[in-house]
Amino acid sequence: MEDEERVGPAEDGAGDAEAQLAAARAEIARLQGEASQAAARAAEAYAEGEVLREQLRAASDAGAGASAEAERLRGELDTVAERERASAARYRDLVVRSEPSLPAELIAGESIDAVDRSLEAAREIVGRVRTHIEQQAQAVRVPAGAPPRSGPDLSAMSPEQKIRYGLGQRRA
């Protein structure tokens, strides 16, 4: 029986080797399939990366263009703001010349609307001051015409002043 055992395992060894070889081939085929799938996924990821890089380049170019456009618009805005300040200054000068009764210090502003607001405020202030002055003038109004004539108060004069006054009246 010992001989039979040796024969069996030897035959078994050849069968095992063939089974191992078949298993190894199957494993190689499976690994080649996985490698092929991995290569396909890598190629797909690479293509997707290229698309994303192109999108990034386009976005970067668009950003640069937008930045240049924003800078141009800032320049235009500065120019318009300067024109508005110059127009407001010319308008203020015109208002000051056309309304000399208003103090020039009360009229100010860097825009036409601001000048208009300060003009209205100046008119209101000047109107209040005029009304106040007129009220004060009414309170201390002196009647028209000459006051009645009377001689000087002799009681407040010294004797010497009285003599001079009397002599001055004779000559006149």
The predicted structure's pLDDT at residue 3: 46
The predicted structure's pLDDT at residue 122: 93
Place of tokens 């396909």: 40
Cβ-contact 107, 118 below 8 angstroms = yes
pLDDT tens profile 14-64: 778 899 999 999 999 999 999 999 999 999 999 999 999 999 999 999 999
* pLDDT range class, residue 7, cuts 50, 70, 90: very low
pLDDT of 11 over the 80 cut = no
Give the 3-state secondary structure of residue 150. coil
The predicted structure's pLDDT at residue 169: 83
pLDDT tens profile 93-119: 999 999 999 999 989 999 999 999 999
- Enter the DSSP assignment of 141: P
**CA-to-CA distance for 56 and 12, rounded, in angstroms?**
63
**CA-to-CA distance for 103 and 115, rounded, in angstroms?**
13
pLDDT of 137 over the 60 cut = yes
* pLDDT range class, residue 127, cuts 50, 70, 90: very high
Reading the block at residue 136, the tokens are: 């004060």
The predicted structure's pLDDT at residue 172: 63
The predicted structure's pLDDT at residue 47: 93
Between 139 and 124, residue with greater pLDDT: 124
**CA-to-CA distance for 121 and 107, rounded, in angstroms?**
8
The predicted structure's pLDDT at residue 25: 94
* Overall residue count recorded for the chain in this entry: 172
Give the max Cα distance, the chain: 190
**Considering the chain, what is the average pLDDT of its residues?**
87
pLDDT of 8 over the 70 cut = no
